[in-house]
Amino acid sequence: MSLYILPKDQLSAFVEALQASFRVVGPTQTETGYAFADIVDPEQLELDYDTTVLPPKKYFLPQREVLFNFHANALEPGTGQLEVEPVFQDVTPTVIFGVHTCDMNGIMLYDKVFAEGFRDEHYMERRDQIYVIGIECLTPCDDASFCKDMGTLTAPPIYDLHMTEVNGSYLLDTGSERGEALLLEYSEAKMAKSEDMQLLGRTLSAKWPHFRHRLKMSRDQTPSLLSLGYDAHIWEDLGERCLACGSCTNVCPTCFCFDVQDELDINMEDGERVRVWDSCQLHEFALVAGGHNFRESKASRVRHRLMRKGKYIKQVHGLLGCTGCGRCERACLVDITIPGTLNALYEEMQLEPGG
C-alpha cells in the first residue's frame, strides 16, 4: 500500500470520474448542518463538515431493508401457497467520501458483528460494494466529541482510501488494493514524495493538542467501572430524565439492533419481511409475549445502553461500542451524555466503591 497526492482542485474531477461507474455519497450541506447524501454535483461534497445527524451506517444497514419477499394468503395465513424469495437489496457499487475516523471505527465494529457467528449475507453483500474513503480529522467536530478518549482519532484499517488535507493537497493512503485501483483509474493522483510524507507526519502529530480529553478514566477502565457501577445511584436519575425516545441509539454509529416486520401489499398476498432499526431504549424492546418486560424501567434501559457501549460489545466483539463521536449527546434533549455518565459513575465509585 502506498501514499498518493492529489491537489485539492483535482478532487472534483476524481468525483466526477467516479460518478460514471459508482454511486458517490458524502457529506453535504443541509439547511441546518450536514448529512451524508448522494453527490450529484462534485461541488456538493463538503469534506470540511463537522458532523452529521446520522452516521454513514445508514449505507451499511439501511433504516429499512427487505430480507425477503413472500407470496402467501395473508387473509388466511398458512392455508394457501407460501413462497419465500430472499432479497439482496441495492448493491450498486458505492463510494463514500469523507468518513471521519470515529465513523470508520463504527464500520469496523459492524464488519465484525455481521460477519462473526452467523454470517449476515444481506450485510456482507452490500458491504462488498461499498468503498470507504476516510478523511483525517484535524480539529474536533465540537465540544460533544470525545474521540481522543475512545481511541478513535486515528483511522482503523477498514478504509479503501484515507485522505489528509496537507498544504492545499490531499495525501491519500491506500488501505486496500481495490482502493488503490480506484485512485489510479479515476484520478490524477501521483505517488507522494518523501517531503510529502514528512509534511503528513507533521500534520498528524500537530493535530493531537487540538483534541481534549473528557473522560476522567481511561477507556480500558470502562468495562470494570460499569461492572462495579451496575447498582449505582446515577441510573435512577438518568432513567427519570430519559425521554425513551431512542434518539441516542438511532444516531449511534455502533448501534445495530433491529426489529423484523412483515409488510403486506394491498392484495394481501404479496409482501416483504423487512428489518428496521430498533432501540433498546424503547419500552417494547425486551417485552415478551405474555407481558413480562425484562427492562421495564427506563433506568434499566439507559444502563443497558451504557453497558453495551462500554462493556458488553467489547466482551463479544473485542471493540468498545462507543466511538466518541458525540452524536448521542447532540441528540439528547435531557443532557444524558456518555462522558457525563461515565464520569459521574467514576465519582460515585470513588465515594462508594461497589455501589
Partner 1 sequence: MLDATFNLSTTTTPRAFNGHTSIYLPVIATIEDVQVESKLEKVYDVRLPGGENLGHSPGQFVMVSLPGVGEAPISVMSSPSRTHDTFRLCIRNAGDLTNVIHKLERGDRVGIRGPFGRGFPIEVFKGKDVLIAAGGLGIAPARSLIDQIIDNRADFGRLIILYGARNPSELLFRDAMAEWEERDDVEALVTVDRADDTWLGHVGVITRLFEHIQINPYHTVAITVGPPIMYRFVVMELSGKGLTPEQIWMSFERRMKCGVGKCGHCQVNHRYACQEGPAWTYAEALAFEEAL
Partner 2 sequence: MSNKPKIAFFDFTSCEGCQLTVIDALQTHLGLLDLVEIVQFREAMTEKGEDYQIAFVEGSCTRKSDEDRLRQIRNQADVVVALGACAHLGGINSMKNRWTIENVQTYVYGQNGKEAYESYPARPISAVVQVDAVIPGCPIDRFEFLRIVQQMLQGRKPKLPDYPLCVECKLAENACLNTLGKPCLGPITRAGCDAICPTYGDGCEGCRGWHPEANFEHMREILRGHGLSEEDIDARFTMFNHYQMEHMGEDSPLKPEAVLSRNEALPSSDFAAPQEAD
Residue ranges in contact with partner 2 by CB under 8 A = 30-33, 35, 52-54, 58, 63, 74-75, 77, 241-247, 250-251, 264-268, 276-277, 279, 282-284, 298, 330-331, 333-334
Query: Cell numbers at residue 44, please?
Result: 456538493
The answer to whether the beta carbons of residues 132 and 169 sit under 8 Å apart is no
Least separation in angstroms between residue 249's CB and partner 2 is 9
Q: Which residues contact 94 (CB under 8 A, 6 or more apart)?
A: 22, 23, 24, 25, 59, 129, 130, 131
Among 15, 72, 150, 225, binds partner 1 (CB under 8 A): 72
Least separation in angstroms between residue 168's CB and partner 2 is 32
User: Binds 219, which of partner 2, partner 1, none (CB < 5 to 8 A, cut-off by type)?
Assistant: none
Q: Does 280 interact with partner 1 (rule: CB under 8 A)?
A: yes
Distance CA 243, CA 344 (A): 20
DSSP code at position 33:
S
Distance CA 276, CA 62 (A): 8
User: Binds 217, which of partner 1, partner 2, none (CB < 5 to 8 A, cut-off by type)?
Assistant: none
Q: Does 264 interact with partner 1 (rule: CB under 8 A)?
A: yes
Tell me the HSE value of 160 on the side-chain side, using a 13 A CA sphere.
20
Distance CA 293, CA 69 (A): 31
Which residue number, 124 or 206, has a Cβ lying nearer to partner 1? Answer: 124
H or E, element range at 314: helix 313-317
Query: Cell numbers at residue 4, please?
Result: 498518493
- Neighbour tally for 136: CB within 10 Å: 21
| Distance of alpha carbon 62 from the chain centroid | 12
Q: Does 252 interact with partner 1 (rule: CB under 8 A)?
A: no
User: Binds 333, which of partner 1, partner 2, none (CB < 5 to 8 A, cut-off by type)?
Assistant: partner 2
Which residue number, 184 or 268, has a Cβ lying nearer to partner 1? Answer: 268
CA neighbor of 155 nearest in space, from 140, 133, 180: 133
Which residue number, 56 or 321, has a Cβ lying nearer to partner 2? Answer: 56
Which residue number, 2 or 267, has a Cβ lying nearer to partner 1? Answer: 267
Coil/strand/helix, residue 265: coil
Least separation in angstroms between residue 219's CB and partner 2 is 26
Q: Does 286 interact with partner 1 (rule: CB under 8 A)?
A: yes
Q: Which amino acid is at 307?
A: M
Grid look-up 469534506 returns 47
Q: Does 93 interact with partner 1 (rule: CB under 8 A)?
A: no
Piece in contact with partner 1 (CB under 8 A), picked from 71-79, 90-98, 154-162, 172-180: 71-79
Distance CA 312, CA 305 (A): 9
User: Binds 241, which of partner 1, partner 2, none (CB < 5 to 8 A, cut-off by type)?
Assistant: partner 2
Which residue number, 9 or 76, has a Cβ lying nearer to partner 1? Answer: 76
Distance CA 139, CA 37 (A): 23
- Site for partner 1, residues 172 to 231, rule: CB under 8 A: 230-231
| Strand extents, DSSP E, the chain | 3-7, 23-29, 34-38, 64-71, 83-86, 94-99, 130-135, 161-166, 169-174, 190-191, 258-264, 270-277
Distance CA 242, CA 334 (A): 7
Grid look-up 470540511 returns 48
Least separation in angstroms between residue 72's CB and partner 1 is 5
Which residue number, 77 or 157, has a Cβ lying nearer to partner 2? Answer: 77
Binding mask 296-325 for partner 1 (x = CB under 8 A): --------x--xx--xxx-xx---------
Chain positions contacting partner 1, by CB under 8 A: 67-68, 70, 72, 74, 76-84, 86, 88, 113-114, 117-122, 230-231, 256-262, 264, 268, 271, 273, 275, 278, 280, 285-290, 292, 294, 304, 307-308, 311-313, 315-316
